[in-house]
A and B are shown apart, each in its own frame.
Chain A
Amino acid sequence: MTKQYTPGTHPDLPPPTRTRGPIAWMRLNLFSSPLNALLTILSVWLLWLIVPGIMEWIALDSIWTASDRKDCWAQMNEPRDGACWAFIKSSFQLFLFGWYPEDLRWRPMLCFLLFLIAVVGILKDDLPGKRYWLWYAVAFPFIATWLLIGGFGLTPVPTTKFGGILLTLIVGIASLSFSLPIGILLALGRRSKLPALRTVCVLFIEFIRGVPLITLLFVASTMLMYFLPPGSTFDILMRVLIMVTLFASAYIAEVVRGGLQGLSSGQYEAADSLGLNYWRAHQLIILPQALKISIPGIINTFIGAFKDSTLVIIIGMMDILGLGRARLNDPEWLGLAPELYIFVSLFFFICCFSMARYSLSLEKRLATEHKQ
């Protein structure tokens, strides 16, 4: 039975518990239960153990100018006390361009600029003359090939001189731009009503998805020569690009197929009832919707393909990772593995994380559009 008060005699209630401010926030988010309190204390302890040491090693005690590792270590209290970023700094040009001739390095740089313009052209929706931007994006890989390899008025550069981040980006971007159209065709083939066509596409996709990329790269480096007409030679970079592209396109095909399956059959029927043939229906009605749904998946596949481009070091190509590992055997910088791996990881992290964030924001934007 609750106690009855006559009006005016009720004692003051205790003030409500805090719901705002740092203390309330901590109570709610860090110490809401004994288990959570324990977890919080454990995490703080873990951070305390790890973070200060790493920070000191990476930033506070690091050395940025030195001629070799001995010199680096001489500047520290004791060897390996801090990171020796002088190693990365001294090889930075090499890491960027590989052995690309120094007086021609404006070409890869121009390529990169053109690439950025193409990316902006594709991603921004509200650009005037969107059509021309898209045509430019389609033409970009060919312009880039001409700029990088040369010929037709430019000094030719053999592909064996490519290396470092330049090579990583070439493998990543090439597989990215050619695998999308091939992947879309494969996805359409897999959903085709024609059994022969469908079987071929299914076999191809499942075969590629069933084997590791590294075996395909071995095929490219050791076996592909046997498949070609006798006497023909084929650049190793080209062979690798073909394999990486085929690999990525099989995965993209599956993503696009998911997008196609996500459309209701009413869309196909509507297209049919308008009297559109197969290609017009796909061009105008099916693909724009299916691709929109599958954009996040496609970007995820691109991220995967970009990360997989590191595998080319196993068949002896010198991308950023391969070149870095070669530098590790240099007597001047012998054994500075942690510095190298942190640098290379950071490069990949920045590229892949920004792509992932973009995909996430796109997903959110598309989701709200669907919700209306």
Chain B
Amino acid sequence: MTSNRNKSRSLVLRLWRHQESRAVIIQILTMIAIFALIALIAQNVVVNLAAVGKEFSFGFLLWPAAYDITFSPFIEYTNQSTHLRAAAVGALNTLLVALLGIIAASILGFTLGILRLSRNWLVSRIVYVFIEFVRNVPILIHILAIYSMIVVLLPPAKKSYGLPDGIFFLSNRGFYVPSPIFEAGASIVGIIFVLAVISAIIFRQWAKRVQNQTGRIYPVFWISVAIVVGATGIAFLATGMPLSWDIPALKGFNFKGGMALKPEFLALWLALSYYTACFIAEIVRAGILAVNSGQTEAAHAIGLRHNRTLQLVVIPQALRVIVPPLCSQYLNLTKNSSLAIAIGYMDITATIGGISLMQTGKEMETMLIVMGFYLVISLIISAFMNWFNRRIKLTER
């Protein structure tokens, strides 16, 4: 009997000491542990949900939401609409503020990054202080502070600032701008604009081919601009200028007409933009500094002018360093937009993950929807950035 036990123990020991079988054992044990944990959690969830009389279903999405969303620029929404529609409004609001935030943060970030590298001591110092101050204070404080600045410090609608007076209005009700009214024929202009952009792209590719074959360089940028602006302008004039502006005007205590950028939206957008821009600025600066100065000198030595050096030598190499962290900043901005809930901007976290959750008590389902939404966006942005990264990757021969 003892010999039998020894044998079986030695078998286990032998398996454990053998590298490959040990790997299999460890993995099997890991999977068992993980599945046991999941099973335990699932069972707890079932028991706990039964105890409070809830069931796991997404049927609540079709119930009327019964709360108002003041900011829904894309789809119709009333408090009689369903939770599903509320979620869609929230998702679109998140996408809107994230997209506008990414655009503004990129422009501001690249500008700040280049100014930070300026040989002008004063400018570079001012930008440095700004960047360091903004980066080291939590984004939530920025959002709340900007929001309270808009609501408390800006004048009421009656005394709003005009920039210039009579067209744009800045007050504690938000920023009112004229909204475009498209008349008949505007769609033709739109189609011609798209066609012009496409032909400009084709022209660029043709010019590149010509340059590769013959070495002739066309002023590609100016010709593309001429194609797009010219074609669109001619179409605009030919169709009889089918565009007018709805200018906001003060009626009583608030504005009528025009397009309103609500304080919540403005605060969130501004704070997200300049906060992320400061991180982007540091990334851009590091990227440009990472390009060896020998590259610039070599470009000058083969007779490239300053602009062409930047365009053909420095920026392509800097982009390789810049793009991966830039991608994670875009992701951060999108995820940070969920802080909208702190100031009442109705994004997806505030609608389905906030009020709908509270009203229906469906914590599990609503949080699944919200997390799934952010995961999908993250995946899309990283897929796009991976593709872009591959495109600009160093081709080694």
Q: Is A265 an interface residue (CB 8 A)?
A: no
The answer on a CB contact under 8 Å between B378 and A209 is yes
Q: Smallest CB–CB gap between A328 and chain B, Å?
A: 9
Give complex CA distance A229, B34 in Å. 17
The answer to whether A81 has its CB under 8 Å from any CB of chain B is no
Known contacts A197-B30, A341-B148; decide if A43 and B126 are in contact (CB<8 Å). Answer: yes
- CB neighbours of B34 from chain A (8 A): 200
State how many angstroms separate the Cβ of B282 from the closest Cβ of chain A: 11
B119 in contact with A227 (CB, 8 Å): no
Q: Judge whether B379 and A210 touch: CB under 8 Å.
A: yes
0/1 interface trace, chain A 227-247, chain B, CB 8 Å (1 if under): 111100000000000000000
Chain B residues, CB < 8 A from A218 = 349, 353, 357, 363, 367, 370
**A211-B335, A211-B374, A215-B367 are known contacts. Are A348 and B137 too (CB-CB below 8 A)?**
yes
Given contacts A40-B120, A194-B27, contact A353 B44 (CB under 8 A): no
Against A, the Cβ 8 Å flags (1 = close, 0 = not) of B185-204 are 00000000000000000000
Q: What is the bound-complex CA distance between A30 and B125, given in angstroms?
A: 12
Give the Cβ gap from B139 to chain A, nearest Cβ, in Å.
7
Interface membership of A207, Cβ < 8 A = yes
Contact, CB under 8 Å: A215 / B371: yes
Contacts of B349 on A, CB cut-off 8 Å?
Answer: 212, 214-215, 218
Contacts of B118 in A (CB 8 A): 36, 39
B-facing residues in A291-310 (Cβ within 8 Å): 303, 307-308, 310
**In the bound complex, do residue B141 and residue A344 qualify as a contact, i.e. CB atoms below 8 Å apart?**
yes
Task: Type the 1/0 row for B336-366, where 1 means its CB is closer than 8 Å to any CB of A.
Answer: 1011011000000100010001000001100
Other-chain contact of B136, A29, A209, A303 (Cβ < 8 Å):
A303
Number of interface residues of B (CB under 8 A): 54
> Is A47 on the interface with B (CB-CB < 8 A)?
yes
**Complex formed: what's the CA distance from A196 to B132 in Å?**
43
**In the complex, residue of chain B having the shortest beta-carbon distance to the beta carbon of A204:** B34
A356 at the interface (CB under 8 A from B): yes
CB–CB B122/A356 < 8 A: no
Q: Does B45 contact A215, Cβ atoms closer than 8 Å?
A: no
Q: Which residue in chain B gives the minimum CB-CB distance to A355?
A: B136
Which single residue of chain B is at the shortest CB-CB distance from A354?
A: B136
- Whole-angstrom distance between the alpha carbons of A40 and B124 in the complex? 10
Measured CB to CB, the closest approach of chain B to A343, in angstroms, equals 10
B26 within 8 A of A: yes
Asked if B342 and A314 sit within 8 Å, CB to CB, the answer is: yes
Provide the bound-state CA to CA distance between A197 and B278, in Å: 38
Measured in the bound complex, the distance between the Cα atoms of B368 and A223 in whole Å is 11
When the two chains form the complex, which single residue of B120, B136, B370, B375 contacts A353, counting CB atoms closer than 8 Å? B136
Question: B335 — nearest CB in chain A belongs to which residue?
Answer: A212
Interface centre among B51, B133, B137, B364 (most CB of A within 10 A): B137
Is B152 an interface residue when CB atoms closer than 8 A count as contact?
A: yes
Minimum CB–CB distance from A311 to chain B (whole Å) comes to 6
B13 within 8 A of A: no
Once A223-B363, A321-B140 are accepted as A-B contacts, the answer to whether A337 and B148 lie under 8 Å apart by CB is yes
Give the contacts of A213-227 with B (CB-CB under 8 A): 213-215, 218-219, 222-223, 225-227
Check B49 against A345 for contact (C-beta < 8 Å). Answer: no
Residues in A whose Cβ lies below 8 Å from that of B148: 337-338, 341
Query: Looking across the interface, which residue of chain A has its beta carbon closest to that of B377?
Result: A210
A210-B375, A310-B140 known; A36 vs B45 contact (CB < 8 Å) = no
Chain A 112-128 interface 0/1 with B at a Cβ cutoff of 8 Å (1 = within): 00000000000000000
Contact B141 A310 (CB under 8 A): yes
Q: Is the CB of A39 within 8 A of B123?
A: yes
Interface pair A215/B374, CB less than 8 Å apart: yes
Q: Identify the closest chain B residue to A357 (Cβ).
A: B132
Residues B145 and A349 in contact, CB atoms below 8 Å apart: no
Give the docked Cα–Cα distance between A287 and B222 (Å): 55
Q: Which B-chain residue is minimally distant from A198 (CB atoms)?
A: B27
Are the CB atoms of B138 and A214 closer together than 8 Å? no
Q: CB-CB contacts of A309-342 with B at 8 A, as 1s and 0s? A: 0110110000001000100000000010110010
Find out whether the CB atom of B121 lies under 8 angstroms from the CB atom of A30.
yes
A112-163 residues at the B interface, CB under 8 angstroms: none
The docked-state distance in angstroms from the alpha carbon of A311 to that of B138 is 9
**A67 on the interface (CB 8 Å rule)?**
no
Q: How many angstroms from the CA of A252 to the CA of B317 in the assembled complex?
A: 28
CA distance A225 to B152 in the complex (A): 40
| CB pair B339 A214 closer than 8 Å | yes
Are A337's CB and B141's CB within 8 A?
no
Pair A211/B371 contact, Cβ less than 8 Å: yes
Q: Given A194-B26, A211-B374, check contact A230 B51 (CB 8 Å).
A: yes
| Contact between chains at A226 and B49 (CB < 8 Å) | yes
Is A195 an interface residue when CB atoms closer than 8 A count as contact? yes
Instruction: Please judge, given known A-B contacts A207-B375, A215-B349, whether A308 and B138 are in contact too, CB under 8 Å.
Output: yes
Q: Is the CB of A230 within 8 A of B47?
A: yes
Given A32, A209, A227, A313, which contacts B45 in the complex, CB threshold below 8 Å?
A: A227
Contact of B122 with A210 in the complex, beta carbons under 8 Å: no
Task: Please indicate the chain B residues that have their CB under 8 angstroms from the CB of A227 in the complex.
Answer: 41, 44-45
Kindly state whether residue B154 has any CB partner on chain A within 8 Å: no
Q: Which of A39, A225, A325, A338 contacts B48 (CB 8 A)?
A: A225
User: Of the candidates A43, A211, A321, which one forms a contact with B375 in the assembled complex, judged by CB atoms under 8 Å apart?
Assistant: A211
B36 within 8 A of A: no
> Chain B residues with Cβ under 8 A from A371's Cβ?
none
Chain A residues lying within 8 Å of B149, measured Cβ to Cβ, are 337-338
Q: Bound state CA distance, A214 and B357, in angstroms?
A: 14
Neighbouring B residues of A46 by C-beta, 8 Å: 126
13 additional A-B residue pairs with CB within 8 Å, beyond A215-B349, A223-B367, A310-B140: A32-B119, A193-B23, A194-B27, A194-B30, A195-B27, A197-B30, A207-B375, A211-B378, A218-B363, A228-B44, A321-B138, A325-B144, A337-B145
Q: Please report A residues at the B interface, Cβ cutoff 8 Å.
A: 29-30, 32, 36, 39-40, 43-44, 46-47, 193-197, 200, 207, 209-215, 218-219, 222-223, 225-230, 303, 307-308, 310-311, 313-314, 321, 325, 335, 337-338, 341, 344-345, 348-349, 352-353, 356
The 3 A-B residue pairs with the shortest CB-CB distance, nearest first, are A352-B136, A29-B121, A196-B27
27 cross-chain CB contacts under 8 A: A32-B120, A39-B123, A43-B122, A195-B27, A196-B27, A197-B26, A197-B27, A210-B379, A211-B371, A211-B378, A215-B338, A215-B370, A218-B349, A226-B45, A227-B41, A227-B45, A303-B136, A307-B136, A310-B138, A310-B141, A314-B342, A325-B144, A341-B145, A341-B148, A344-B141, A348-B138, A349-B136
